[in-house]
Amino acid sequence: MKYILKKAVMMILTLFVVSILVFLAFNLIPGDPAARKLGTEATPAQLENLREEMGLNDPLVVRYLRWAGGFVKGDMGDSYTYGPVEKLIADKVPITITLALMAFVIMTIISIPLGIYAARNKGGFIDRIIVVTDQVVMSVPPFFAGILITLIFGLILKLFVPGKFVSYNRDPAGFFAYLLFPAIAIALPKSAMTVKLLRGSVIEEIGRDYARTAYSRGNDTRQVLYRHILKNAMIPVVTFMGMALADMVSGSIVIEQVFNIPGLGRMLLTSINNRDYPVVEAIIMGISIMVMTVNFMVDVIYRIIDPRIDAVD
Amino acid sequence: MKDGKNTYKSRRPMERLLQRIPFLKDEKYSPFLAAGLLLTSIMLIFILIGLFWTPYDPTAMNRNEKLAGISIRHLMGTDNKGRDILSRVMYGSRITLMIATGTMIVGAGIGTVLGALTGYFGGMADEIFMRIVDALLAFPSVLMALVIVSLFKTGSWEVMMALGIAFIPSFARIVRSEVLRCRSMDYVENARIQGVSDLRIIFMHILPNIRGVLLSSILIGFNNAVLAEAGLSYLGIGSQPPHDSLGSMLSSAQQYMLSNPVSVLGPGLAIIWMVLGFSFLGEGLRREGD
């Protein structure tokens, strides 16, 4: 309990630091948001009024507290052109989260059986193929994997129509079907890394004394592997998979562009190009909150599967 | 090896190939290291040739040969403006490599110095610094680079700086923990007793001793830099035309994928080749170290 509490406090502290950095970054850059909002035709008096109205004349600390306070209450400020930010991103969040979760599930399905298989047949022909393929797949940038998938499955095999995104409130089945291929593109390199880690981890645990003891007590390979070895071997892998899930959330920024998915990533890029900073700030904070929540959950799960941590702390 | 003869002959084809190279003759390499050396040197030679000669001018447009497929005249085809993709890949690989190198100089350089100093001196500054590093590490580096680029303008230099800054925390952390480990070792104590200055101890005594860890983190970082740069350029916020990197070539090739599908292969394979070479090198060094 103490451990979880400590991690929760750490997470809130980290979020606080990140929020200060994000706020400072976007508020210290040269350029007047009021002038940007009004355009070039504005008179000095209009500018001054708007500045007062937007609270730009207040000290930085006051502005930070107002921004952060609003954020906690769900008010993320106003876009320069499109009104309240929270309305803008509300229907984008589920898309990005679904994409990341699907990629995570695909990664788990691919990598765990492969990793265990490779470790059990260490040095064999198939294991060698897995090791080399793994290293190659790791080197493929996710967006290039996405392009290849579009080329092969979209244009040649015609399994989906590239660029024709289906909204989840219109056709949920079509929505999942469309997200399947982008999710595979995100999942591939991470799966390769998981396979490598799991393989190494299982091989290391097989050589330990407790595994030998378990064998000598008459258990067969299957039992030793699933009851004893995997429990220990999964510990580093679970940590890595958590980090991978966090990466998938941010990695979807690029993949959304490849497959034309109107998620948070697309919105972020459009807002960066339009210099619509309130939206950029909100999305970045949103993604960081997701990433840090995942990190926190990893810490908690880690504590559950490896109770030895408490002894160290 | 008295008579200079090759005493060790490998059964592995990749190693045999390397052993034909005169000055690598007597060495024994792990297959990963051998494959890494091979892939990386081919890439470097490819880029070096591109410095002096490319089959065509990478910027020369040819209206009559738009979106051509693979042929003897254009080994990787041509793009939507009729430019030869092979020539552009030779040029683009150079840009990508330069940005990745710059990223490592900024990220590994500043990160190492900061990590070494805070790790060695410790105290309050170290405590605060590590909290900030922890916060930044929890923040995805591509996202951080995006923030930095969005604050400035887009371009190769900006991406280099942005990625470099985004990579500082991880290097700072690795170097700090290594320096902490070495700080109380005998050779450092010895140097201190002899009156060697702190800075000299850090940079002349400790850093050379942790070069193994440093080298493998630089190789991994390098790969991440190539991949991140490709991603950012693909999004259109990296290197700008006419200095297209491999990533920006891919984003324009993707738009014409229906009419010329092979045009995405050249730049994409070049990225994979580069990353694969460095990751084999890193893997090989790691195994050699074990």
Name the residue with higher pLDDT: A155 or A203. Answer: A203
Which chain B residues are within 8 Å of A142, Cβ to Cβ?
A: 231
Tell me, what's the pLDDT at B1?
Answer: 40
Tell me, what's the pLDDT at B11?
Answer: 65
Q: Are B274 and B256 in contact (CB under 8 A)?
A: no
Distance from CA of A216 to the nearest CA of B (A): 29
Which chain A residues are within 8 Å of B223, Cβ to Cβ?
A: 139
Which of A172-186, A216-230, A297-311, B247-261 holds the top average pLDDT?
A172-186
Neighbours of B216 (CB within 10 A): 17
Give the tokens for residue B68.
Answer: 């051509």
| Residues present in chain B in total | 290
Tell me the sheet residues that pair with B78.
Answer: B84
Q: Considering Cα of A183, then A290, then B138, then B290, what sign does the dihedral take?
A: negative
DSSP B215-283: HHHHHHHHHHHHHHHHHHHHTTSSS-TTS--HHHHHHHHHHTTTT-GGGGHHHHHHHHHHHHHHHHHHH
Closest residue, chain B, to A19 (C-alpha): B135
Percent of all residues in chain B with a pLDDT value above 70, rounded to a whole number: 89
The residue with tokens 């941590």 is A309
| pLDDT tier for residue B270 given thresholds of 50, 70 and 90 | very high
Tell me, what's the pLDDT at B3?
Answer: 46
Which of B266, B263, B246 has its CA nearest to residue B66? Answer: B263
Q: State CA A184 to chain mean position distance.
A: 14
Tens-place pLDDT, residues A55-106:
777 788 888 888 888 888 877 777 777 778 888 888 888 899 999 999 999 9
Which chain B residues are within 8 Å of A291, Cβ to Cβ?
A: 138-140
Tell me, what's the pLDDT at B32?
Answer: 81
Tell me, what's the pLDDT at A105?
Answer: 95
Which of A109, A108, A110, A128 has its CA nearest to residue A119? Answer: A128
Q: Are A107 and A137 in contact (CB under 8 A)?
A: no
Which of A24-28, A291-295, B268-272 holds the top average pLDDT?
B268-272
Cβ distance A147 to B143 less than 8 Å, yes or no, reads no
Cβ distance B143 to A250 less than 8 Å, yes or no, reads yes
| pLDDT tier for residue A114 given thresholds of 50, 70 and 90 | very high
Which chain A residues are within 8 Å of B231, Cβ to Cβ?
A: 141-143, 254
| pLDDT tier for residue A23 given thresholds of 50, 70 and 90 | confident
Distance from CA of A54 to the nearest CA of B (A): 21
Q: With a cut of 0.95, is the ipTM above it?
A: no
Minimal Cβ distance to A14: which of B138, B142, B257? B138
Mean pLDDT, chain A, rounded, equals 84
pLDDT at B283 over 60: yes
| pLDDT tier for residue B124 given thresholds of 50, 70 and 90 | confident
Which of B101-110, B148-157, B181-190 holds the top average pLDDT?
B101-110
Which chain A residues are within 8 Å of B148, Cβ to Cβ?
A: 25
Which chain B residues are within 8 Å of A274, Cβ to Cβ?
A: none
Q: What are phi and psi of B154, to 5 degrees?
A: -90, 145
Domain segments of chain A: what residues?
2-87, 93-262
Tell me, what's the pLDDT at A99?
Answer: 92
Tell me, what's the pLDDT at A183?
Answer: 94
| pLDDT tier for residue B65 given thresholds of 50, 70 and 90 | confident
Which of B40, B45, B37 has its CA nearest to residue B20? Answer: B37
| Residue B38 CB contacts under 8 Å (≥ 6 apart), including other chains | B14, B17, B18, B277
DSSP A162-228: TT----TTT-HHHHHHHHHHHHHHHHHHHHHHHHHHHHHHHHHHHTSHHHHHHHHTT--HHHIIIII
CA distance to A283, B115, B174, per residue, from B202 (Å)? 41, 11, 15
Evaluate if pTM is beyond 0.95. no
Distance from CA of B62 to the nearest CA of A (A): 26
- Of the ranges A120-124, B10-14, B244-248, which one carries the lowest mean pLDDT score? B10-14
Distance from CA of B256 to the nearest CA of A (A): 11
Q: How far apart are CA B31 and CA B12, in angstroms?
A: 7
How is residue A5 annotated by DSSP?
A: H
Minimal Cβ distance to A147: which of B149, B254, B280? B254
The helix (H) or strand (E) run that includes residue A294 is helix A277-305
Tell me, what's the pLDDT at A210?
Answer: 84
Which chain B residues are within 8 Å of A246, Cβ to Cβ?
A: 140
Tell me, what's the pLDDT at A313?
Answer: 45
Whether the bond between A182 and the residue before it is cis, its omega within 30 degrees of 0, is: no
Minimal Cβ distance to A143: which of B139, B231, B258? B231
Which of A26, A28, A29, A49 has its CA nearest to residue A37? Answer: A49
Q: How many inter-chain contacts (A to B, CB under 8 Å) are there?
A: 113
Percent of all residues in chain A with a pLDDT value above 70, rounded to a whole number: 97
Minimal Cβ distance to A284: which of B147, B230, B275? B147
Class of residue B155 by CB neighbours under 10 A (exposed 0-12, middle 13-18, buried 19+): middle
The residue with tokens 């350089």 is B109
Mean pLDDT, chain B, rounded, equals 82
Tens-place pLDDT, residues A28-44:
776 677 777 777 777 77
Which chain A residues are within 8 Å of B275, Cβ to Cβ?
A: 138-139, 141
Cβ distance A284 to B231 less than 8 Å, yes or no, reads no
| pLDDT tier for residue B24 given thresholds of 50, 70 and 90 | low
Which chain B residues are within 8 Å of A148, Cβ to Cβ?
A: 264, 268
Q: How far apart are CA A5 and CA A10, in angstroms?
A: 9
| pLDDT tier for residue B116 given thresholds of 50, 70 and 90 | very high
pLDDT at A20 over 80: yes
Cβ distance B131 to A25 less than 8 Å, yes or no, reads no
pLDDT at B28 over 70: no
Give the tokens for residue B150.
Answer: 């969005």
| Residue B196 CB contacts under 8 Å (≥ 6 apart), including other chains | B205
Which chain A residues are within 8 Å of B149, Cβ to Cβ?
A: 272
Minimal Cβ distance to B140: which of A10, A17, A291? A291
Minimal Cβ distance to A135: which of B231, B250, B283? B283
| pLDDT tier for residue A192 given thresholds of 50, 70 and 90 | very high
CA distance to A8, A103, B65, B163, per residue, from A246 (Å)? 17, 11, 44, 19
- Please name the amino acid found at residue A12: I
Tell me, what's the pLDDT at B80?
Answer: 75
Give the tokens for residue B276.
Answer: 């694969």
Q: Under CATH, to which class is A93-262 assigned? A: mainly alpha
Tell me, what's the pLDDT at B275?
Answer: 92
Q: State CA B12 to chain mean position distance.
A: 27
CA distance to A94, B134, B167, B184, per residue, from B203 (Å)? 50, 24, 21, 16
CA distance to A77, A105, A305, per residue, from A15 (Å)? 18, 27, 26
pLDDT at B103 over 90: yes
pLDDT at B110 over 70: yes
pLDDT at B100 over 90: yes
Q: How far apart are CA B270 and CA B277, in angstroms?
A: 11
Cβ distance A150 to B283 less than 8 Å, yes or no, reads no
Tens-place pLDDT, residues B178-219:
898 888 888 888 888 888 888 899 888 888 888 888 888 898
The C-alpha torsion from A230 through A236 and A237 to A238, rounded to 10°, is: 100
Q: Are A258 and A165 in contact (CB under 8 A)?
A: no
Q: Are B50 and B73 in contact (CB under 8 A)?
A: no
Q: Are B247 and B233 in contact (CB under 8 A)?
A: yes
| pLDDT tier for residue B8 given thresholds of 50, 70 and 90 | low
Q: How far apart are CA A46 and CA B154, in angstroms?
A: 32
Cβ distance A136 to B227 less than 8 Å, yes or no, reads no
Which chain B residues are within 8 Å of A138, Cβ to Cβ?
A: 275, 279
Determine the average pLDDT of the residues in A134-153.
Answer: 88
Q: Are A302 and A289 in contact (CB under 8 A)?
A: no
Residue of A260, A272, A285 best to disrupt the B interface, most CBs of B under 10 A: A272
Tell me, what's the pLDDT at B153?
Answer: 74
| Residues of B engaging A, defined by a Cβ cutoff of 8 Å | 131-132, 134-136, 138-140, 142-143, 146-151, 223, 227, 230-231, 234-237, 247, 250, 254, 257-258, 261, 264, 268, 271-272, 275-276, 279-280, 283
Tell me, what's the pLDDT at B4?
Answer: 47
